[in-house]
Amino acid sequence: MIHVIIIILLSVVMIVMAFVAIHHKNLQVAVIASGIISLFASVIYIFLAAPDVAITEASIGSVITVSIFFYVLNKIRHEDIKK
């Protein structure tokens, strides 16, 4: 039963974060929110008996994707200031 409650909480946070990611004005907040979705999905994968997928999603979805997004956002901001 405790599994069900944890997964319901994680799902609700994921869906809220999806809305934040799409509708927030600030792009950095949106990127962080999409990283949070990946991180919480990786917790759900452990409950769904998929530890391999959980490790992959945690290391790729919430670290590497977010840092690539931030590199591009930083570059865009610099070029925007210059113009």
Shortest distance (Å) from residue 9 CB to another protein: 10
Shortest distance (Å) from residue 65 CB to another protein: 5
CB 52 within 8 A of CB 60: no
Q: Supply 26's token pair.
A: 């600030």
Name the site residues for another protein (rule: CB under 8 A). Answer: 3-4, 7-8, 10-11, 14-15, 18-19, 21-22, 27, 30-31, 34, 37-38, 41, 44-45, 47-57, 59-61, 63-65, 67-69, 71-76, 78-80, 82-83
Shortest distance (Å) from residue 61 CB to another protein: 6
CB 25 within 8 A of CB 41: no
CB 42 within 8 A of CB 58: yes
